[in-house]
Amino acid sequence: MRYVLAALLLLMAALVQASVMPAFPVFGVVPNLVLALAVCWTVVRGQQEAMIVVPMAGLCLGLVGSQPLGVTLLATMPVVLFSELRALRLTPSDFLLTVVIVFLSSMVYEMVLLVALRLEGESVGWFAAFLRVVLPTGIVSVLFTPPLYWLVRSRSEGLRRRIRAFA
Amino acid sequence: MSSRVGTWTLGIAVLSLALILLSKAGLLDPLQSGVLSITSPVQHGLKNAADPLAAWLSNVKDDGDIRSENDRLRAENEQLKGEVVRLREGQVQLQELQKLLQIKQSYPDEEFIAANVLAKDPSSLKEAVAIDRGKRDGLREGMVVVTEGHSVVGTVTHLFDSYSWVTLITDPNSAVSAMVQESRAQGVVTGSYSSKLSIEFVAQGAAVKDGDVVITSAIGGLYPPGLVIGKVTDVGGMAQDLFKKVTLEPLASLSHLETVLVLTSFLPTNLETP
């Protein structure tokens, strides 16, 4: 059930990202809502669920984009690796950790896409792409993280309460 | 990193590579095409719901300019109406002369296929839109896509059976041979990561000014000549520079595309060097 909910949320986020967000660009870019949602899920629900939800996020992004399907799957993979930071207890709160991972993951995601474009034979202006797309996408994705974090957190607590009541 | 995460990473990497290969071989086309067909009504609905808010925000931002722009557009409209009448007269005369001289026309019986825009690429690194026409409708890679007003949108780059991706002229990898209509100065219109257009390789001595119209040129054989690309918005650069720095804005509203026309009667020519 939880994975069905995750899949629906991710697909909805992908559709919103592709259809609504281009009308409201911030710093000329659109936030990576799908990736931010996957990160929120990873931090709130743990690494085990992330191993299912993160690939789902990659597939959702691939299905609505022009990149070959596996590229987005590969680009979302670092989210699970970054979640290892949680064990190091570097930040005082989970929310702060979410923000850090969203920022890093968004930038890595765009860099992987850039490498894929280059391998496909397109010319890539690395410095311009970093300044105009990679870095702004990281920042803008962070700006959209609080509502997504709240959504996943509240859903998660509701689910836990229902399980406890059932037990 | 735990061994479980290591195994997972390896598994996902292998799966990704397999999917890339399957995707390149076209075996995942039905899946991607199906998903796009199913989700496109939802995307349309979401986009239509968001458009009024986007328009309102844009109006709030540009409130001060709207009145003066309105006045300017009224005057321009008046002037253009007069120009249309004169051009129609000229067109009739030109056709008569072409018949007499048997000159090959620049637009030999233009044929178009209308297509609906299904989706926009969610990545900020690519400027591309998906349209609901594909191989089945006779589309081929490289075909030119224009708006209903015949200004350039881009070219078909990825073809599937029932849909295709069109790379917009604002994409960083787009390059269109162009010329300034007024001065006939040649150049190459390129996109950028900020979705802005500029004309490269315009000679320093060329007469280019704000408001000049930029059209496609026949050089390169990738676009038919004479299609409108945009208007010059800024001319800069230093006197000692080899080329002028010219920026322009596309005439087509590329962020609000709904219906486009694929020019099927023109096929790009891959010119080989002599």
- If we measure between CA atoms, which residue out of A151, A162, A135 comes closest to residue A40? A151
At residue A138, the pLDDT reads 94
Note whether A15 contacts B172, CB cutoff 8 Å: no
In chain B, the number of structural domains is 1
Burial pattern B244-269, b for ≥16 Cβ within 10 A else e, equals bebbbbbbbebbebeebbbbbebebe
- Nearest chain B residue to A34, by CA: B122
Is residue B152 over pLDDT 60?
yes
Contact A129, A55 (CB under 8 A): no
Query: What's residue B102's pLDDT?
Result: 66
In this structure, what CATH number is given to the domain that contains residue B254? 2.40.10.340
Give the residue on B whose Cα is nearest the Cα of A140.
Answer: B124
Task: Inspect the interface and report whether the beta carbons of A22 and B192 lie closer than 8 Å.
Answer: no
Distance separating alpha carbons of residues A40 and A102, to the nearest angstrom: 8
Of A15, A29, A70, the CB nearest to B16: A70
Inter-chain CB proximity B5 and A110 less than 8 Å: no
Which residue in A has a C-alpha nearest to residue B118's C-alpha? A19
Tokens read off for B212: 């000049």
Kind plus residue range of the DSSP H or E element containing B152: strand B152-159
Give me the amino acid identity at B111: E
Burial class (CB in 10 A: 0-12, 13-18, 19+), A154: exposed
Is pLDDT larger for residue B22 or for residue B254? Answer: B22
Q: How far is A6 from chain B (nearest CA, A)?
A: 17
Tell me the two tokens of residue B39: 């989700």
A69 contacts B23? CB cut-off 8 A = yes
CA distance A129 to chain B (A): 6
**pLDDT surpassing 80 at residue B159:** yes
Task: State pLDDT tens for residues B230-266.
Answer: 889 888 877 777 888 889 988 888 877 888 999 988 8
What is residue B92's predicted lDDT score, i.e. its pLDDT? 80
pLDDT at residue A160 in the model: 67
Cβ separation A64–B122 shorter than 8 A: yes
* % chain B with pLDDT above 90: 15
Residue in A21, A30, A67 to test binding to B, most B beta-carbons within 10 Å: A67
For tokens 């996109």, the residue is B191
Name chain A contacts of B39, Cβ cutoff 8 Å: 11, 15, 64
Residue contact B119–A19, C-beta within 8 A: yes
In this prediction, residue B1 has a pLDDT band, given cuts at 50, 70 and 90, of low
Q: How close A25 gets to chain B, by Cα (Å)?
A: 10
Residue partners of A134: CB distance under 8 A and separation at least 6: A107, A110, A111, A114
* Dist CA B234 CA A73 (whole Å): 41
Q: What is the structure's pLDDT at B18?
A: 93
Q: Do B22 and A123 touch (CB under 8 A)?
A: no
Yes or no, beta carbons of A69 and B1 under 8 Å apart: no
Backbone angles phi, psi at B159, to 5 degrees: -105, 135
Q: Is B15 among the domain residues?
A: no
Residue B227 has pLDDT above 80, yes or no: yes
For B181, phi then psi, to 5°, come to: -60, -40
Is residue B217 in some structural domain? yes
Answer with the residue of higher pLDDT: B44 or A13: A13
Which H/E stretch holds residue B13? Answer: helix B3-24
Q: Which of A75-79, B93-97, B121-125, B179-183 has the lowest mean pLDDT?
A: B93-97
**Does B139 reside within a domain?**
yes
> Residue A73's closest chain B neighbor by CA?
B16
Closest CA to A141 of A112, A94, A104: A104
CB-based burial label for B215 (10 Å; 0-12, 13-18, 19+): buried
What is the pLDDT averaged over residues B27-36?
84
Bridge-partner residues for B203, per DSSP?
B243
Q: What pLDDT score does B271 carry?
A: 53
Look up the domain containing B213 and give its range.
111-274
Answer yes or no: is B32 within a domain: no
Cβ-proximal residues to B1 (8 Å cutoff; 6+ apart), any chain? A81, A84, B9
Give the SS3 label for residue B115: strand
Q: Hey, what amino acid is at B30?
A: P
Nearest CA to CA, how far is B17 from chain A (Å)?
6
User: Rounded to an integer, what distance in angstroms lies between the CA atom of residue A71 and that of residue B28?
Assistant: 13
pLDDT tens, per residue, chain A with 167 residues: 778 888 999 999 999 888 888 888 888 888 999 999 999 999 988 888 889 999 999 999 998 888 888 999 999 999 988 887 777 777 778 889 899 999 999 999 999 999 999 998 888 889 999 999 999 999 999 999 999 999 888 877 776 676 667 66
Which pLDDT value is given to residue A76? 92
Q: Using DSSP, state whether B70 is helix, strand or coil.
A: helix
In a domain, B189, yes or no: yes
Q: What is the pTM of this model?
A: 0.81
Instruction: Say how far apart CA B216 and CA B186 lie, in whole Å.
Output: 9
- Which of B123, B166, B167, B193 to probe by mutation at the A interface, max A CB count within 10 Å? B123
Report all structural domains of chain A as residue ranges with CATH numbers, in order of start. Answer: 2-166 (1.10.1760)
User: Is A17 at the interface with chain B, CB within 8 A?
Assistant: yes
Question: Exposed, middle or buried: residue A93 (CB in 10 Å: 0-12, 13-18, 19+)?
Answer: exposed
Q: Test A61 with B122 for CB contact under 8 angstroms.
A: yes
Structural domain includes residue B41: no
Question: Mean pLDDT of all residues in chain B?
Answer: 83
Taking the CB of residue A85, how many other CB atoms lie within 10 A of it?
15
Residue A27 DSSP class: T
